Amino acid sequence: MSPANKTNSEDYLRAYRQMVRIRVFEDNANQLYLSAKMPGLTHMYTGQEAVAVGICEALEVSDKITSTHRGHGHCVAKGAEFKEMFCELLGKAEGYCRGKGGSMHIADQAHGNLGANAIVGGSAGIATGAALSAKRLGTKDVTVCFFGDGALGQGLLYEVMNMAALWKLPVIYACENNLYGEYTKVEEMAAGALTARAAAFGIETHVVDGQDVLAVNRLTRDLVERARNGEGPFFVQLDTYRYYGHHVGDINREYYRSKEEETFWKTKRDPIANFGAWLTGEKIATEDELKAINEAVRADAEAAVAYALAAPYPDAAEVRLHVYADNAA
């Protein structure tokens, strides 16, 4: 990591705190699943925190993102609150989507999150469309389309990257290469270089260490500014790692990846531990200060979980609500 710019101390600490918030959110989500308090399954973002935070810290509130089935990290990083998120995971009325979306469909439009998506690659069109809207309406907003290496198998992505390049749209395609699409290694599913796909459309591509929040943020700030000035689209490959299985129920993973590999990433490449060490090394924060951040976030999460567990479910009448939007008079 590069030397610190001391005037950015608050930004650094906010980025650290956001990464911790994602990690802690996922720990709690996992516990809710394991204790059978959460309906359904969830896909954890743990290990990939530097990607979501490095990117979202480079965005304005009005900038848009589209997210994936592994979307809690993007949602937190774009500004969502724990309380409404846990309520959504538990299917409660105070959730971001009034309990109708759940883990795989959290949307937080107030912070520009157009929603997680349970179809792999399914939001590539939405992100590109948001960018077309921004260009046409002159809002100057930039859209980041998050997707995993698994989505590289979907044709939709190539159709919309082609149009984004033809029309110079302000969109950044953020490919989180966590090495596995569900239970299969990326090299068994994607031929050739991942970036070559976008390069074929004449899109400028970058590869960045997705475990280094500062590197991700530095690159994204530059690309966002350029996209705002009409130089988009861009494609970024972010090399990262998924600590848990495809979903919380994917416990025995040795048939597709080794324990040694997992241990390597968790001990040597952890984005939070490494950034924490950098913060203390650069004397931006002390060990105690980082510990205090962790404790405060854990207390927040604990309170939010307790709140969500006690919160009411939606009224039965809501089942027929929101199938259609009411037309403005």
Partner 1 sequence: MRQITLAKAVNEAIAEEMRRDPTIFLMGEDVAEAGTPFKVLSGLVEEFGRERIIDTPISEPGFMGIAVGAAMTGSRPIVDLMFGDFLFLVMDQLCNQAAKTHYMSGGKLKAPLVLRTNLGATRRSAAQHSQSLHGLLAHIPGLKIALPSSAYEAKGLMKTAIRDDNPVVIFEDKLMYNDKAPVPEEEYLIPFGVANILREGRDITLIATSSMVQVAQKAAEMLAAESGISAEVIDPRTIVPLDEETILKSVRKTGRAIVIDEGHQSFGVTAEIASRINEKAFYYLDAPVQRIGAMDVPVPFSPVLEDLTVPTPQIVVERARRSVKGELFDAA
Q: Which two tokens stand for residue 162?
A: 């082609």
Which range in 117-125, 173-181, 265-273, 280-288 contacts partner 1 by CB under 8 A?
A: 117-125
User: Is position 90 an interface residue for partner 1 (rule: CB under 8 A)?
Assistant: no
Q: Which of 9, 13, 81, 100 touches partner 1 (CB under 8 A)?
A: 100
Residues 13-52 as x/- pattern, contact with partner 1 by CB under 8 A:
----------------------------------------
Answer for the pair 146, 106: CB distance below 8 angstroms, yes or no.
no
Sign of CA dihedral 163, 170, 101, 183: positive
Answer for the pair 274, 244: CB distance below 8 angstroms, yes or no.
no
DSSP states along 290-326: HHHHHHHHHHHHHHHHHHHHHSPPPPGGGGGTTSSPP
DSSP states along 256-287: TS-HHHHHHHHHHS-HHHHHHHHHHHTTSS-H
User: Is position 105 an interface residue for partner 1 (rule: CB under 8 A)?
Assistant: yes
- Report which of 170, 247, 179, 185 is spatially closest to residue 211, judged by C-alpha positions: 179
Smallest gap, in angstroms, from Cβ of residue 89 to partner 1? 14
Which range in 42-50, 70-78, 210-218, 318-326 contacts partner 1 by CB under 8 A?
A: 318-326
Smallest gap, in angstroms, from Cβ of residue 12 to partner 1? 31
- Identity of the residue, 201 or 243, whose beta carbon is nearer to partner 1 in the bound complex: 201
User: Is position 99 an interface residue for partner 1 (rule: CB under 8 A)?
Assistant: yes
Residues 129-168 as x/- pattern, contact with partner 1 by CB under 8 A:
xxxxxx-xx-x-x-x-----------xx--xx-xx--x--
Cα–Cα distances (Å) from 297 to 103, 194, 306, in that order, read 20, 36, 14
Smallest gap, in angstroms, from Cβ of residue 267 to partner 1? 38
Q: Which two tokens stand for residue 159?
A: 């159709």
User: Is position 324 an interface residue for partner 1 (rule: CB under 8 A)?
Assistant: yes
- Identity of the residue, 119 or 292, whose beta carbon is nearer to partner 1 in the bound complex: 119
User: Is position 127 an interface residue for partner 1 (rule: CB under 8 A)?
Assistant: yes
Which range in 6-14, 97-105, 179-187, 269-277 contacts partner 1 by CB under 8 A?
A: 97-105
Residue 134 to residue 197: CA distance in whole angstroms:
25
Q: 187-196: which pairs have CB atoms within 8 A and are 24 or more residues apart?
A: 189/149, 189/150, 189/152, 189/153, 190/149, 190/152, 190/153, 194/149, 194/152, 194/237, 195/235, 195/237
Answer for the pair 85, 78: CB distance below 8 angstroms, yes or no.
no
- Identity of the residue, 54 or 122, whose beta carbon is nearer to partner 1 in the bound complex: 122
User: Is position 122 an interface residue for partner 1 (rule: CB under 8 A)?
Assistant: yes
How many amino acids of this chain bind partner 1 (CB under 8 A)?
Answer: 49
Smallest gap, in angstroms, from Cβ of residue 257 to partner 1? 29
Rg (the chain; Cα; Å): 19
At how many degrees (to 10) do helices 287-310 and 82-89 cross?
A: 50
- Identity of the residue, 111 or 269, whose beta carbon is nearer to partner 1 in the bound complex: 111
Binding site for partner 1 (CB under 8 A): 64, 66, 95-101, 105, 107, 109, 114-115, 117, 119, 122-134, 136-137, 139, 141, 143, 155-156, 159-160, 162-163, 166, 321-328
